[in-house]
Structure 1
């Protein structure tokens, strides 16, 4: 009979006769036959190597009625699982009366994370006690899903089962909490583990948890402790530590770890080398990253993506595009991440045409439906100043998530459309999409751009209510927002309350003091930063030098500029040279400003020549102004602002023929002057005014208030300075034009509509003119109100007839 079965006969086709020749006693022989058959099936199952073969034997077993045999059913589940026939394995498993524990564990391991947790719940309901193999599997599923609530419930089950001290379970708990972003809970589990039970996996799980978060410095501290405990790190540990160095931007520490890797001969490991490429790129040393990349004999798609991301993040977009072309010719086929990195490179380059080419490839490959790719496309088009295309893609997206909303809001802010960003944020809330810290950073930036203090306060309350104020980046933006909205005291109060400050926190506060003309406070804070052992970066020095410029601290500015390279090994960038030209130029040291330009190792850009032209405007230096203007016309021939500046220099000197020539040139080039514009926030709305504006619903009241104000301040000693009317017209007309400047209209509106105990806060798109500056001082004294004006350069706090800038701006 067994031979017959092996020849392919079904049991029903095999004739058999009982031993006594009596048909009624054949049941014993039948059961003996079934035992023989089951042995034969097991032997044949062991030789199955294809899913099709297992299904054929499964059919034989069903026909023969052997499917109720627990041993055979278990073997079938195992075979199906090995060959990825999970649906069939699950079907057999679900029909089993009392599956053994190891079979539960196999299915939990092989199924999706959601299905694994469902199986775990069913297992507990069936009264099956999980073991030290079960718990790590379901904790891993929680980590993948970032399901902290279920993870904590499983932790409770572990404690009750007495398996918390088991090393496998402990390691899985650490990993789960770390992947759910709860590194403090992970650390508690880690600290409870006995030293003798902690293995390299325990240490690596904890280091990895820290490396992925803003606590990356803790990863390096823990790595040092691991070495003191004589626990030998493996390649995964080293990759995590390198990742921590990259996230911290700590190149020095990264190089030390690299040397350890070389000493331990781990440099041939593709995971470690890829991590090194990523670390060097994140730390800004793209050359070394590229050297390591080129030396690698084997590269996978992750390696290529690391190098692509490095080029993109460091602004080397052309190199990224060339590398992507090489990648397409290699064995590593570009994936979604590769595409996202390439779009990021196009965004950095502002290369909308290349970006459109990538977009075409995305459509051909069918990647367009991916949320990640769609969000990257929105970001690319927004950064390439194609905000309308970005919005069109955003509207077409199905299943938009918080990342896509955040990208669109950030795009509006980047394109100077702060009001649209706030409108979109309101729409996001109406659609019940919960924002995250990234969203709030952009929303706060929009408030800062508009100097919308009341809106900023409302957003601040929202952040607190939703527990988003714990994020350091959000706290930094709150400091920046309040500083840019004129509330420097609130900004400082928030800064002082921060439990953890990074270099961005210090930079935001120093820059805030600089904008408000508090140069000495900015420099005092810089010294506190050094005492706190926070290493300044290039942005810190931009803020420090800018503060010196606004406060007229020439000698200190010169000192800090020279200390950059000498003490902190920071090579001056273009922005630093702009600050120095501005510093000397504002102070009237035009010759020294010119010497800075001559000594620059870089070719001066529009920022440098713009600062020089602005200084010539302040100090009426026509000859040097003309030279700077010519440079600017060559570099940026379509920017009307520079033509206006040189025209103003001519007008101030009464050279009306030259003014006419500049205006004719602008007309020929079809360039239009940016009109002076001031805006003020009142009753949760932004009100905008242009010079001579009569479009506001309250225009009659505003102009009536202006007449009253002018009469009062003239009695107090104000004399209109018609030199700031840059038109060749009669004196009466010049005065009339001065009276209706946009900031004066905004002040009058504020006096009508804003509570008398509140300061009047105004923002202007251009530099405040000398006459409006003088008039604002008189108005502040007459009406006994503080008037805060943020112009294109800095803040002016007018109070009791004085300005915080000391008439130096």
Structure 2
């Protein structure tokens, strides 16, 4: 009697490990992932060409890049797949410079790039400052003959178009030279024109694409139908609808972006098929413009069609509410989140904290923050910045200390919030200590926002000479915001000479801004320099100052008020109340400064 043949124990263990690794894209637990990694070491499988890329991808999804690099470093002779996987992981985590360093090592090691390498690398070339890198990659692609793979030129078009007006000409030239285009090519080009603000060109291309696309797809659809191949016809119809949604959505987004909501709505209403993406775009567009009723009405209509807001939808709408200050709509979205499973997602909670903080409801922001099961750096940053911006400087700094004590490493955004907190409570020495700590303790190079905060702190504290010295010696060129901050400090402390210096700098940067002259005029008046007032007033005559405005949300509507504007239906009642408040202020001793 023969015994059944069983596989060796190590073989079954390997199969079990491979089963776990195959499902790693579902793994959201860093501790579970580390356990699987440890098992690969025990089984001597950490150099397996199948397992290593999976581990790198999994660590990328959980933001554990040092562990991903460790996996890569364990491979003595990495192949193209492994290099590509690491480049993709680094770009996914916004480590763009490191992605290029890996690419340069790939070349140095003599490992050949393929048609996947360059699209992954192009993801690290965002913005106009990446244009030279895009051009370098384009040269590589042409030299190696990868333009024949439509995936590569499509990625190039997308990267060129993301460089704005500087790259749109190169994108269009590449698009025109392509012997074969697919819907991604068209959509990338349309999106590029939208980003560059060339909506007329985008609309022209959109109409050309829609006409061509409809004719070609209808021909294929008709062919399958006549042949009785209804399964293929239905599949083609679904693909055609999906392709159209992207193009239409891009155009709706473009008009929302430039504030042309009537055109955006017209295109949205004409869409042959709508999924969550265009609904999200149009609702967020209305919310960002402060049109709460329109946004709420569309949200109702979307739910009536059977579509439910997903994570991307609620985050987009909350971001728009934060931008415009629509607290009412933001609270409605919060109610929906609480009745769904979205409230457990860190990104959603972060968007809620940001919305409540920017709308001025710190209690609600704190409640969301305190109720989070897990927090990431964005959670802490949003709360620190929210507290700092609303005058709770001490609480913001206490929260920062707690964050560091819990092992969360701050970044440059954190220190903007910390320095703002010091500004609002006048902690000059503490600000100096934090500013030094940035580079010394955390290796963070101060950016212009950090210098701006320090200059603001010094200026508010009356240390105008030190503030001006810092502006002149900082390694970055001071912008209009920094010189404007210095000018405001000069107004507070009535320093005419330094104010004149700040205005000279501002005139070079913003020659058409009359507000700078107005501040200088007030400084002259406060110092009794009426000759300076007269001279400044003459200069202001040649510049048209835009009327100041403010707004307030009431009953889900945003009411905007402009200087001297009486178009509001209740303007007479509003001005009566303003006059009454003015009389009350005079009775308690307030005397307005009129220059």
Q: Shorter-chain TM-score: which interval? A: 0.7 to 0.9
Aligned to 1:116: none
| Secondary structure, counterpart of 1:689 in structure 2 | strand
Does the 8 Å CA contact 2:496/2:523 hold for their aligned counterparts? yes
Separation (CA, whole Å) in 2 of partners of 1:474 and 1:202: 31
Change (3 A) 1:428 1:579: same
User: Paired residue for 2:24?
Assistant: 207
Map of 2:95 onto structure 1: 283
Structure 2 partner of 1:243: 57
Whole-angstrom distance in 2 between the partners of 1:438 and 1:367: 33
Select 1:305's aligned residue among 108, 119, 131. Answer: 119
Closer/same/farther in 2, CA of residues 696 and 720 from structure 1, 3 Å limit:
farther
Segment drifting more, 365-374 vs 534-543: 365-374
Aligned to 2:301: 430
The separation in 2 between residues aligned to 1:319 and 1:408, in whole angstroms, is: 34
After TM superposition, list the pairs within 5 Å mapping 1:487-526 onto structure 2.
Answer: 487-526=361-400
Contact 1:640 1:666 in 2 (8 A): yes
Instruction: Check the 8 A contact 2:160/2:167 in 1, yes or no.
Output: no
1:343 to 158, 166, 176: 158
Matched, 1:683 2:495: no
SS at match of 1:613: helix
Task: Confirm or deny: 8 A CA contact 1:447 1:481 kept in the other structure.
Answer: yes
Alignment of 1:696 onto 2:568: yes
Map residues 670-749 of structure 1 onto 2, 5 A cutoff: 671-715=543-587, 717-722=588-593, 725=594, 727=595
Larger Rg: 1
In the alignment, which residue of structure 2 is the partner of 1:580?
A: 454
Give the counterpart of 2:348 among 447, 453, 474. Answer: 474
Distance 2:290 2:181 in 1: 29
Higher RCO (Cα < 8 Å, 6 or more apart): 2
Displacement of 1:626 in angstroms is 2.3
**Cα distance in structure 2, aligned partners of 1:404 and 1:590:** 51
Distance of aligned partners of 1:376 and 1:539 in 2 relative to their CA distance in 1, 3 Å threshold: farther
The residue number in structure 2 matching 1:354 is: 167
Which shows bigger deviation, 504-513 or 381-390? 381-390
**1:73 corresponding residue in structure 2:** none
Q: 2:83 aligns with which of 273, 276, 286?
A: 273
Give the drift of 1:436.
2.8
Task: Report the Cα offset of residue 404 of structure 1.
Answer: 5.1
2:412 corresponds to: 538
Query: Counterparts of 2:137 and 2:295 in 1: how far apart (Å)?
Result: 36
Whole-Å separation in 2 of the counterparts to 1:561 and 1:331: 50
TM-score for both structures, normalised by structure 1: 0.57
Query: What whole-Å deviation, never above 9, does each CA across 1:146-199 have from its counterpart, x for those lacking one?
Result: xxxxxxxxxxxxxxxxxxxxx9xxxxxxxxxxxxxxxxxxxxxxxxxx984744
Match of 2:483 among 593, 606, 609: 609
Aligned partner of residue 310 in structure 1, secondary structure: coil
| CA distance 1:365–1:645, change in 2 (3 Å) | farther
Q: Per-residue displacement from partner, 1:11-48 (whole Å, max 9, x unpaired)? A: xxxxxxxxxxxxxxxxxxxxxxxxxxxxxxxxxxxxxx
Cα deviation, 1:616-645, whole Å, max 9, x if unaligned, reads: 233232222222232233334455554444
Equivalent position to 1:444, from 277, 302, 318: 318
In structure 1, C-alpha distance between the alignment counterparts of 2:575 and 2:478, rounded to whole Å? 45
Give the C-alpha shift of residue 208 in structure 1.
3.6
1:677/1:688 contact within 8 Å kept: yes
Q: 1:247 to 1:359 in 2, by over 3 A?
A: farther
TM-score normalized by structure 2? Answer: 0.76
Partner Cα separation in structure 2 for residue 218 and residue 503 of structure 1: 21
Q: Confirm or deny that 1:327 pairs with 2:141.
A: yes
Shift of 1:419: 2.7
- Within the alignment, does 1:316 sit opposite 2:187 as a pair? no
Q: Deviation of residue 571 (structure 1)?
A: 1.3
**Where does residue 360 of structure 2 map in the other structure?**
486
| Alpha-carbon spacing, 1:619–1:428, altered in 2? closer, same or farther (3 Å) | same
Counterparts of 1:195 and 1:505 in 2: how far apart (Å)? 43
CA contact (8 A) 2:292 2:557 kept: no
Contact 1:526 1:544 in 2 (8 A): yes
- What does residue 224 of structure 2 align with? none
Structure 1 ranges of 4+ moved more than 6 A:
366-369, 408-413
Identify which range, 604-613 or 489-498, moves more after superposition.
Answer: 604-613
Aligned equivalents of 2:437, 2:293: Cα separation in 1: 41
Displacement, 1:581?
1.0
Q: Per-residue displacement from partner, 1:362-396 (whole Å, max 9, x unpaired)?
A: 47659887369637844x55554567862279758
Output the CA distance in 2 between the equivalents of 1:678 and 1:339.
Answer: 44
Asked if 2 retains the 8 angstrom alpha-carbon contact of 1:277 and 1:307, the reply is yes
User: 2:128–2:166: 8 Å Cα contact kept in structure 1?
Assistant: no
Hey, what's the Cα distance between the residues in 1 that align with 2:445 and 2:513? 30
Structure 1 gaps, min length 5: 1-166, 168-193, 728-809
Residue 474 of structure 2: aligned partner: 600
Contact kept, 8 Å, 1:208 with 1:241, in 2: the verdict is no
Query: Residues of 1 paired with 2:31 and 2:546: CA distance?
Result: 48
SS of residue matched to 1:679 = strand
The DSSP-based 3-state class of the residue aligned with 1:374 is: helix
Matches within 5 A, 1:102-113: none
Cα 1:329–1:474 shift into 2, 3 Å: same
1:589 to 435, 447, 463: 463
